[in-house]
Every structure is written in C-alpha cells, then in structure tokens.
Chain A
Amino acid sequence: MLINRLATSSAFPVKLSLVSASLFLGLFFFLPLVLVFGVSLASRGMYGGITWIATWENYQRVLDPLVGVIFFRSLLFAGLTTVVCAVVAFPLAYCLARASRPWQLILLTLVMIPFWTNFLVRTYAWVLILRADGILNTLLIRLGFLEEPLPLLFTDVSVFVGLVYGYLPFMVLPLVVAIERISPQLEDAAFDLYASMGAMFRHVLLPLSTPGFLAGGVLVFIPSLGAFITPYLLGGGQKMMLGTLIQQEFLVARDWPFGSALSFGLMGTVLLLWFLLGRTSVGKDPS
C-alpha cells in the first residue's frame, strides 16, 4: 500500500518540501537545542554576554540549594498535577469512550476546544476568580462564609489549580483512546464472574488503561514542569518554578550560560521521559 503511493512521492515538489522541512526543523529546532547545551558550558561575560570559556560552574550552580528548591518544587508540582489530572480525567474519559456516537463527538469536541484555546487568557480567567476582590472571595463573603477575603492568588494552591486546569485535556484524550481499545465484553466477563463494580475497575479497566495513563501522564508532566505562564500569573514573584526562573535568567539577570544550564536540565528530563515513552507500546502507535 505504501509502495503504491510512490506515484505521488516522486513528484518534484514533494521531494523539495521534504528536504526543506527537514532543513527548517534542523536549523530552527534541533540546532538551537544543541546550542543551549553548548552555551550551558560557557561562562558569563562581563556585561551579560557569553564568554566561550568551558566550565562546569553553571551546573554546579544548578545544584545550589536555592535553585535546587525551585527544581524540586517544579518536579513536585508537575508530579502532583499529573496524578490529580489522571484521577479527575478518568471518569470523563470512560464516559467519552463508552458514549454513543453522536454524544462522543460532541463531548470530544468540548474537551478538545480548550486544549487548543488561548492558554494565557484561560489562565488569566483564574486571576479574576482567585484574587482578593475576585469572584470566589466576593461570593464567599456575600454568602457569609468569610469576613475577610482569603489570600488565594499567589499561593501554591493557585499555581496548582492553574496547572491542573491548563493541562487536564492532555490527560483526557489519550485515556479515551486507551479505553476505547478495551473491549466492553471484558467488562461483561468480569461482571459475569461476580466482580463488583469496584473490582471490575481495579482488576480490568485500570490495568488495561495503562497506556493511556502513561501517554497522558507524560503529556501533562512535561508542560507542567516547564510551565511559565501559570507560575508567573498565578504564583507571582514568590512561588517560582523552573519556567519562571529560566525566564528571569534570560531576560532579567541576562545570565545566559546559567539559564542554559537550567534549560538543559529541563530538556534532559523531557527527552528522557519522551524516550522512555517511545520504548513502551504507546510511542510505537503513530496516532
């Protein structure tokens, strides 16, 4: 079947675009990432530029406790976000996967739309909800639950809520795909063998959904780890994460080598996860 399409592939424009697309991504995606690694081994110049003197110093600074705390925080937040997304997304994914055709299409569209919709603006909406004179505080005070507004914005909780909100759709879609592949007959078989609803989920559905959890987990964990908008808008200056620290090193402190070392730490984690996912069956499936 693939060979049959050779008719088209030999057309000149196809070859040309194949070559130019590879060149483009090589030049503006892979090369810049290699450069990040290169710069991370260089020294900072007198006025914020780069001096090409090789050093490990930037990586030693990554291990500095002050930076370590931010690294650890980011890992913890990304991990927590992933777990909560998995728990919250599963029921929705199950309903989606087992819904009748028209419903499935409607619900899938509804989940997919925020997935591609302006992340900055969606995060900003939470500022309106959480700030001192925001919707939530105003509502709670009106209803008499609170006397004084609670400090909700610029806390760990607000960052965490923002991350879950932002990346939840990344978990839903792979789970739907995974659950759809599980034959409903397996569920019936479990019930026929007197499994309770809970037992069926624990022993049949959840284990078989593992590929979905893995793919969704990686897709949530990676952007959460490198998130910039969420910790910036919802965490303020105090609740730094890796993304905000990198931005600060590049645009405020203008210490590119150290910023590059941080970026490479992030990139290494991402590539390792991506590689591990590729080794599982999930990565081998093109869709």
Chain B
Amino acid sequence: MKRMPTSFIVMSLLVMLFLYLPVVILIALSFNASTMGVAWKGFTFQWYEKLAMDQAILEATVNSVVIALASTGLALILGVGTAIGLETRQGVQRPWVNMVLVLPLVIPEILLGVALLMVFVLCQVHLGFGTIIIGHMVFNLPLTIVIIRARLRKLDPAWEDAARDLGATSWAVLTHITLPLLRPAIWGAGLLGFTVSLDDFVVTFFVAGPGSTTLPLKVFSMIKTGMTPEINALSAVMVVVSMVCVGLSWFVQQRSTPASSESSY
C-alpha cells in the first residue's frame, strides 16, 4: 500500500500484540510445572491431566455444552424465519427495527442478568438449565437474526422469483431455494452463537441455580477460592476452543460468500 505511515504500522503491531500477548501468556503458563508463581519450572501436561480427572469440571463441561446447543438450536429455529420475515415485509424496514434488535447485544450484560433474575424469581420459576437457556437465547436470537439478515441482503431475489415463476409454492421456495442458499450463514450463526453461549458468564451467573454450574461459573469460583495451575489449563482450553469456533464461523461465512460480497465493497 502506498504511503502507509510507518508509525501507524508500528502502532498496529503493538495493538495486535496487546490483544494477543495475554492469551499467549495464559496458554504458556498452563504448561508450567511450577505450582506457585510464574517462574518457569519446566514443561508439564499434569494440569491438563488433573482437569480430565476432575468430576466437577467434567460435569460443568457437559452442562455448558447442553445449554449452548439448546440455546443456539432454539435461536436458529426462531431466528432464521424471523430474519426472512423481516427482510421481506416493507412495514418493518425501519431503522428502529435495527436499533431494537441490536439492543440486547449492546446493553450491559449485568442489566439483562438482574432483570431476568427478578422476573424468574417473582414468577417462581425454578432457576436452572431452563432459565440459563432462556437467558442465552436473549442474546443468541438477535445475533442469529442479524447474521442471517446480512446474508439475505446479499442474495439475489431472482432465485426466489424464478422458482415462483416456475410454479413453486411459498413452502417449496423456502425449503428448496432460500434455506439452502442460507446454509453458510446458518452454520456461521450457529457456531458463533454456540461460542457466545459457551463463554457467557454474567447472565449465567445471575440466572443459574444449584446443579447447573457451567464452565465459566466454575472458572470464576476457582479464581475466587485461590489461584491454582488448573485454572490456567482450563482457561487455556476454553480460550482455544472459542477462538477455533469463532474462526470457523468466520471462515464458513467468508468462503461461501460468492462474488456478491466482493461487489459490496
């Protein structure tokens, strides 16, 4: 690129370093044999072995995965149809629809947490898997809708028109044309939603009950009770898993975007 100021490139590199160095340090420390402090005492897998043996952590892992799958699945079921509906009805093509839809994603999570907690307690709903899944859907559903809508905007409506001209019913257009064309976005949204749910701490913290501990809750309580090397190992696993999922989600969406994405630039 012409005339990119050197100072800008240096600054950019520093910012990237700032974003990634803590994660790298965390992963490196998870292989440190030292039980106390950060001084390097040799390479070990023992913290990971300890993790794999820990019944409570295995349980939390299962809980997290079940909750993430349920909230993402339900969000997809509702979100795909909603996105299609929103992209077609002229009446809702208003800027405020976007503002309202994105609101659950920008509002500080703690507000969502306390608000849901009060609703559940006042309605005497038992706190547990159900309430966590609902809590995660509150941000997973708008997330899905936003991603699917973005994809819909890039699709050529001629595909659907052609199918209809050839006598397809609205149901046939949906299942044979629109949904297959949306498949990459559905995968992308699903992977991202799964990660966000798996990683969520604040909302879960408020609406979880006894017996529904998720991995982030487990990490948090481990940090509170004292620093042990197992936390580093667990954190390293979580950070790598979510980075891979997010990267995958991004990749699925990018790769399958045909020439239309180029032209939108």
Task: Spell out A's residues near B (CB within 8 Å).
Answer: 1-18, 20-22, 24-25, 28-29, 31-33, 35-36, 39, 50, 88-89, 91-92, 94-96, 98-100, 105, 109-114, 116-122, 124-129, 131, 133-135, 138, 165, 168-169, 180, 197, 218-219, 222-223, 225-229, 233, 243, 246-247, 250-251, 256, 259-260, 263, 266-267, 270, 274-275, 278, 283-284, 286-287
Contacts and interface: CB of A to CB of B under 8 A. Distances in A.
The listed residue with most A CB atoms (<10 A of its CB), out of B116, B145, B164, B246, is: B246
A249 to B, nearest CB: 9
B73 to A, nearest CB: 13
Contact of A125 (B1, B116, B235, B246): B235
Nearest to B165: A7
A121 B238 contact: yes
A133 B16 contact: no
A83 to B, nearest CB: 15
Contacts of B202: 228-229
A250 B111 contact: no
Contacts of B246: 112-113, 116-117
B27 to A, nearest CB: 9
Contacts of B7: 91
B201 A119 contact: yes
A286 B98 contact: yes
Interface of B: 1, 4-5, 7-9, 11-12, 15-16, 18-20, 22-23, 25-26, 29, 36-39, 77-82, 84-90, 93, 95-96, 98-99, 103-104, 106-112, 114-119, 122, 134-135, 137-138, 141-142, 145, 149-150, 157, 160-161, 163-164, 168, 170-171, 173-174, 177-178, 192, 195-196, 199, 201-202, 206, 216, 219-220, 223, 227, 231-232, 235, 238-239, 242-243, 246-247, 250, 254, 265
A148 to B, nearest CB: 15
Given A8-B173, A229-B201, A13 B29 contact: no
A114 B109 contact: no
B203 to A, nearest CB: 11
B72 to A, nearest CB: 14
Contact of A128 (B18, B26, B82): B26
Nearest to A201: B5
B111 A226 contact: yes
The listed residue with most B CB atoms (<10 A of its CB), out of A32, A105, A180, is: A32
Contacts of A105: 254
Contact of B192 (A33, A91, A114, A116): A116
B84 A8 contact: yes
Contacts of B22: 122, 125-126, 128-129, 165
Nearest to B198: A118
A117 B239 contact: yes
Given A100-B1, A127-B223, A9 B88 contact: yes
Contacts of A89: 15
Contacts of A114: 19-20, 23
A118 B160 contact: no
B243 A113 contact: yes
A287 B150 contact: yes
A161 to B, nearest CB: 9
Contacts of A3: 90
Contacts of A92: 8, 11-12, 15-16
A285 B60 CA distance: 41
A121 B78 contact: no
A28 B168 CA distance: 37
Nearest to B245: A116
B210 to A, nearest CB: 14
Contact of A33 (B111, B142, B161, B238): B111
Given A10-B170, A116-B242, A219-B106, 8 more contacts: A4-B157, A5-B84, A7-B161, A28-B116, A129-B22, A225-B108, A227-B108, A250-B206
The listed residue with most B CB atoms (<10 A of its CB), out of A2, A5, A113, A250, is: A5
B239 A267 contact: no
B14 to A, nearest CB: 9
Nearest to B86: A18
A33 B88 CA distance: 29
A110 B13 CA distance: 12
B127 to A, nearest CB: 12
A15 B84 CA distance: 9
A39 B137 contact: no
A111 B118 contact: no
Nearest to A117: B242
A120 B243 CA distance: 14
10 contacts: A4-B161, A8-B88, A13-B81, A118-B235, A120-B201, A223-B108, A246-B110, A263-B114, A283-B99, A287-B150
Given A16-B81, A256-B118, A2 B88 contact: yes
Given A20-B78, A95-B9, A223-B106, A121 B26 contact: yes
Given A2-B93, A124-B223, A165 B18 contact: yes
A278 B96 contact: yes
A128 B29 contact: yes
